[in-house]
Structure 1
Amino acid sequence: MLVERGGLWYRVLVARYGEEAGRLEVGGWSASSWWREVAKIRDGVGETDGGWFAQRVSKVLGDGRNTFFWLDKWVGDVPLCRRFARLFELTTNKLITMADMYAIGWEDGGAAWSWRRRLWVWEEELVEEYRILLTNVVVQLNVFDRWLWEPDKHAGYIVRDAYHALTYMEAPNLDETANLVWHQQVPLKVSIVAWRLLKDKLPTKTNLQRRGITQVTDTLCVSGCGIEESASHLFLHCHVFGSLWQLI
């Protein structure tokens, strides 16, 4: 799915499921269940922080033709669509590649910055922060982009590393917390909400998106603060709802 796009197997997958801007499509509900599961691993659907696989791969930038500017992790620890979620929601170039973005121009006033509407002042400040991040980025002509398997940057991807990542994840210890949550003096409906919160099972926008219920762009907090609506954000960090829960 990520490399050897000229191979026969890749062309078969494109013929079966489709391709958009160099990215294999899931194929809708008519696709086989195994293919949807493979796509979920690639896209991190149902996982926190993008999923175990996405956390362990990144793009090494070359000419930029096979690197998605917003969707691939090529600078920093997360894709730019998550780091600048508000701008990603507003851009009209969600599937633009690095090569096209660089060619159009991402300097101040560059045509690469195309928005659905005029930006507010605080959104323009985000763009300036974005541009500072891109100051030292250089696209290398005649050099192919490549994927980097971060657990072993020299040998590359091996099944043993993937198996280790899946089998040695530490599970949080909720035993002590469970005694408090399910206390007999706590109303049942409160216990259920608290338990779902601790296990990150509440229907927040980020959880709904990971399960494929809502669109990938519909993850921002309903308060309009511009931050992804996760459980920790709603209960702790949101300037609207976070302060409300503290009062309660």
Structure 2
Amino acid sequence: MLVDRGGLWYRVLVVRYGELGGRLGAGEFHCWWSEVSRLRVRDGDGGSGWFEDQVRRVDDGADTSFWSDRWLGEVPLCVRLSRLFELTENKTMYVADLLSVDSERWGEVWRWRRRLWQWEEGLLEECRALLLDVSLNPNVVDSWVWLPDPSSGYIVRGAYSLLVSQVPLKVSVFAWRLLRDRLSTRTNLISRRVLSPDMSSCVAGCGHPESAQHLFLLCDTFGSLWHLVRDWIGCYGVDADNIFDHFLQFTHLTGGGVLLDVLLCN
């Protein structure tokens, strides 16, 4: 659906969400399509998501981004050769744009913002060496192959199993309950008539109502533990004032985006 330009769904989505750089746009509003379109959009640091790490195939190169897609090696070229990526004026070119012309004319396709310095020329030679053994199949269009199971292809159950295998079940269940305010805090137990209203005070004895936000972020006893956690894992950040923003911050700082993907699947 994302790459089949001749397909009906592709044409419908182009009408609805537009097309940018030869690919489907994300639209102006947050909706389900914004999440789907992110499968082909990388963060500004060149990182990739769990789904994108599991698919790869290049045939004619017409739909594979030369710089941003992970098509040659374990990381995209915009990461491996980040200096060249910063200097090129053609950041959106496809593999076919470069490899369909003679190697002597590659400079016409790259189009640098300025003349390369000597050490940058060394990076360019490294890039040329990587491309020497690459050949395209002009008669077959690019497609995505689900690497965990190339024969059966992608299915939701297989993708979910892959995600869950990377995150302990008890961790994902706890995080799911926390983000949806389903933990047995005293304020929740009072709303369910398990406790009486006069028993809302935090278990730490600070006198404030024991909600999830207070217990995990605002409590002088428990909230202060996050500074120790940051020191332990070696990352830095600013405390958020709500649970979801705090969760997002820590998952990104520690490279744990897979946990967020698991929770979004539920």
Shorter-chain TM range is 0.5 to 0.7
Q: CA RMSD in A?
A: 3.3
For normalisation by structure 1, the TM-score amounts to 0.64
Match of 1:26 in 2: 26
2:137 is the counterpart of 1:137? no
2:165 is the counterpart of 1:168? yes
For structure 1, which segment, 42-51 or 15-24, has the greater mean C-alpha deviation from structure 2 after superposition?
42-51
- What is the Cα deviation at residue 10 of structure 1? 1.3
2:48 to 44, 47, 50: 50
What CA deviation, in whole Å up to 9, does each residue of 1:153-196 have, x standing for no partner? 1222121221112222146xxxxxxxxxxxx9xx989637526x
Match of 2:231 in 1: 194
Match of 1:35 in 2: 33
Q: Percent of pairs identical after alignment?
A: 48
What CA deviation, in whole Å up to 9, does each residue of 1:82-114 have, x standing for no partner? 221221121111111222212344448632231
Long gaps (5+) in structure 1: 172-183, 204-210, 212-229, 233-248
What CA deviation, in whole Å up to 9, does each residue of 1:20-76 have, x standing for no partner? 23211122xx323322222334435599951110110112x2222222211222211
Match of 2:111 in 1: 114
Distance 1:112 1:48 in 2: 21
For normalisation by structure 2, the TM-score amounts to 0.60
Rate the CA distance shift 1:107–1:194 in 2: closer, same or farther, 3 A: farther
Distance 1:108 1:10 in 2: 33
Q: Secondary structure at the match of 2:144?
A: strand
Q: How does 1:174-189 map to 2 (within 5 A)?
A: none
For structure 1, which segment, 84-93 or 30-39, has the greater mean C-alpha deviation from structure 2 after superposition?
30-39
Distance 1:84 1:159 in 2: 34
| Partners of 1:44 and 1:54 within 8 A in 2 | no
Q: Secondary structure at the match of 2:56?
A: strand
Match of 1:77 in 2: 74
| Partners of 1:66 and 1:145 within 8 A in 2 | yes
Rate the CA distance shift 1:39–1:194 in 2: closer, same or farther, 3 A: farther
Distance 2:103 2:16 in 1: 36
2:45 is the counterpart of 1:8? no
2:156 to 133, 143, 159: 159
1:66 to 63, 67, 72: 63
Q: Secondary structure at the match of 1:148?
A: coil
Long gaps (5+) in structure 2: 169-220, 239-247, 255-266
Rate the CA distance shift 1:123–1:107 in 2: closer, same or farther, 3 A: same
